[in-house]
Amino acid sequence: MAKAKKTVFFCQNCGHEEAKWLGQCPVCKEWNTFVEEKKLPEKGSESGIRRKAEPISLSRIETKGEERIRTEMEELDRVLGGGIVKGSLVLVGGDPGIGKSTLLLQVCRILGEKGEEIIYISGEESARQIKLRADRMGKFDDRLSLLCETNLETIEEVIRTKKPHIAVIDSIQTMYSEEIGSAPGSVSQVREATNTLMHLAKGMGITIFIVGHVTKEGTVAGPRVLEHMVDTVLYFEGDRHASYRILRSVKNRFGSTNEIGVFEMRENGLQEVKNPSEFMLNGRPEHASGSVVACSMEGTRPILLEIQALVCRTNFGMPRRTAAGTDYNRVNLLMAVLEKRLGMALADCDAYVNIAGGIRMNEPAIDLGIVLALVSSYQNKPVDPYTIVFGEVGLSGEVRAVSMPKQRVMEAKKLGFHTCILPGVSVESVGEVSKMKIIGVKNVSEAIQHL
């Protein structure tokens, strides 16, 4: 009799394997994440002889700077750490319709003009659909080839035969291997497809971009092991109904994970936003209460953003608090500081806090901006539109220091601001700035008095 195929249970969150179903994963502690799938047969060596492995002394290993390919898109190059590293595996995730395929197609167009051989493999669109979208972006070089295929073995054979410099897989959830009985997008299929592409990238020195679908929580669909296997994980964020997009790196083995790239969606594709601060402050109301400009750092880039607050008496017994673009619990904490340290009666008030433009920031440096916006709306007194504030607020009402205050002040000066309220301990590191009034404060009460 034929031997029955063994089934095992995989955790959809972390990829952990168990022989039986469990309610909670013992590794990632998530509940109800185990799914049953057929176990792959063990792959033995073709010759039956194991290759001998010898450890190498760390001091004998020669290191050279990674060979990078510049995409000429400064926003993308910054997020990648200076360009595309040859032989790297890059995962790009984002909501449907956010512009993942558009961004990668633009990268293919630029690199094709620079003489790179590129193959674009799509499992979701036909070649004609990709051609129609490409025509809106401009003229493409003959070095870009299209392949509409979902079979992993066929894709591997084409890549080994063509030997391109760069390959794009759109998307990893549509790829399937004939050796696995489960459906495309399952834990086994995604893990096997990523493992095959990783061996192609490292073994042949091919840079491979992988497009990944995201769940409703905003993370890449499939096992968490997918993000562990790749070299770089990029998330494309933003409201698809708005014009701007933010490219954020959450993992990068070849650069910083604090950098972001800002793009604007137009008819002919994505356009880089060279000065995101000016872009975010465009259309700011004048002489309106509850509007304060703060500064947040994303890596080495200071970004000025408008914080809006609306405080009004509640019509119900339970006041409503809403936060868009920042942490809801942080807003509640800061309102408690205002009640306790300044005696402001906010317990019977509705409070709505919003970061204009739809951008999301969680840096503690915007605490002072949120506090002053709440006070401005509560007292119905507008803040000087040419004043910028930043600083972390503690539970006792003190204003604490933040990183890189000098860069924040210089960015504000470049955009025409003439007053800056910042933590008092940071005044010395900032020094004197021409045509800029620097005001250092020790606590929230001092900041309110200066305004």
- Where residue 183 falls among pLDDT bands split at 50, 70, 90? confident
- Which parts of 237-365 fold into alpha helices (H)? 276-280, 328-342
- The pLDDT value given to residue 245: 85
Share of the chain above pLDDT 70, in %: 92
Q: Which of 13, 8, 7 has its CA nearest to residue 33?
A: 13
- pLDDT of 336 higher than 90: yes
Average of pLDDT values for 167-196? Answer: 86
- The pLDDT value given to residue 157: 93
Q: What is the DSSP letter of 205?
A: T
Q: Which two tokens stand for residue 316?
A: 């119900």
- The pLDDT value given to residue 48: 47
CA 398, 399, 402, 406 torsion-angle sign: negative
CB count within 10 Å of CB 333 equals 14
- pLDDT of 238 higher than 80: no
- Was domain 279-450 assigned CATH 3.30.230.10? yes
- pLDDT of 13 higher than 90: no
- The pLDDT value given to residue 147: 93
Say whether 99 counts as a known binding-site residue. yes
Distances, alpha carbon 152 to alpha carbons 16, 202, 367, in Å = 23, 17, 49
DSSP result, 431-451: ---TT-EEEEESBHHHHHHH-
Of 97-106, 209-218, 248-257, 329-338, the poorest mean pLDDT is in 209-218
Say whether 82 counts as a known binding-site residue. no
Say whether 97 counts as a known binding-site residue. yes
Which SS3 state, helix, strand or coil, does residue 266 take? strand
Contact between 380 and 312 under an 8 Å Cβ cutoff? The reply is no
Of 149-158, 176-185, 317-326, 412-421, the poorest mean pLDDT is in 176-185
Which SS3 state, helix, strand or coil, does residue 37 take? strand
Q: Which two tokens stand for residue 365?
A: 């440096």
Query: For tokens 């036909």, what's the residue?
Result: 126
- The pLDDT value given to residue 65: 62
- pLDDT of 205 higher than 50: yes
- Where residue 12 falls among pLDDT bands split at 50, 70, 90? confident
Say whether 376 counts as a known binding-site residue. no
Share of the chain above pLDDT 90, in %: 45
- The pLDDT value given to residue 122: 93
- Where residue 39 falls among pLDDT bands split at 50, 70, 90? low
- pLDDT of 3 higher than 50: no
Non-local CB neighbours of 41 within 8 Å, separated by 6+ positions = 179
Helix axes 100-113, 127-137, angle to 10 degrees: 70
- The pLDDT value given to residue 448: 93
Each residue's pLDDT tens digit, 391-407? 999 999 999 999 999 99
Q: Which of 266, 263, 294, 275 has its CA nearest to residue 356?
A: 294
- The pLDDT value given to residue 40: 57
- The pLDDT value given to residue 66: 63
* CATH class, range 67-274: alpha beta
- pLDDT of 118 higher than 60: yes
Q: What whole-number distance in Å separates Cα of residue 321 and Cα of residue 266?
A: 35
Q: What whole-number distance in Å separates Cα of residue 126 and Cα of residue 107?
A: 19
- The pLDDT value given to residue 50: 58
Contact between 389 and 369 under an 8 Å Cβ cutoff? The reply is yes
- Where residue 67 falls among pLDDT bands split at 50, 70, 90? confident
Q: What whole-number distance in Å separates Cα of residue 143 and Cα of residue 117?
A: 5
DSSP element (H, E) containing 294: strand 291-298
Say whether 100 counts as a known binding-site residue. yes
Question: Bridge-partner residues for 68, per DSSP?
Answer: 85
- The pLDDT value given to residue 92: 93
- Where residue 47 falls among pLDDT bands split at 50, 70, 90? very low
- The pLDDT value given to residue 370: 96
Say whether 96 counts as a known binding-site residue. yes
Helix axes 152-162, 187-204, angle to 10 degrees: 10
Say whether 95 counts as a known binding-site residue. yes
Average of pLDDT values for 154-179? Answer: 91
Q: What is the DSSP letter of 99?
A: S
Say whether 101 counts as a known binding-site residue. yes
